[in-house]
Amino acid sequence: MRAMRWVLLGLVLLLGWLQYRLWFGIGSAGEVAALEAQVEHQRRENGGLEERNAALAAEVRDLKEGVAAVEERARSELGMIKPGEVFYRVVEDPAQRAGTPDKADEPAGADAGERD
């Protein structure tokens, strides 16, 4: 009978130790859940990076094969024009950018109504 109690006590202690390791030890259920969340976050991040890489690869392919893309970049980034083309630059009036109205912007009938 005494031996049976020691065996039962040993089994209860073993069960307690295993439960402790399951919930709080290395590789516990909480740690596994945290690692699964990290894996999912990394998968989402990798998906975004794969899309970006695909877009960059398409742009590189277009630059290698197509003349139109090279021409467009030369025009937009370097300000280049073709021979025979005329370049026009539109410059804003500094007073209009600051938000102060110019007399040329006022309606023509505004002065006429004050004179009468």
- Does 116 score more than 50 pLDDT? no
- Between 28 and 53, name the one with better pLDDT: 53
Judged on CB neighbours under 10 Å (0-12, 13-18, 19+), 101 is exposed
Please compute the mean of the pLDDT values over residues 37-66 and round it to a whole number: 92
Give the separation between CA 112 and CA 116, rounded to whole angstroms. Answer: 7
Task: Please give the mean pLDDT across all residues of the chain.
Answer: 82
Identify the DSSP state of 106: S
Please compute the mean of the pLDDT values over residues 61-66 and round it to a whole number: 81
pLDDT-based confidence at residue 36 (cuts at 50, 70, 90): very high
pLDDT-based confidence at residue 75 (cuts at 50, 70, 90): confident
| Stated pTM of the model | 0.40
Query: CA dist 18 to 11, 15, 24, Å?
Result: 10, 5, 10
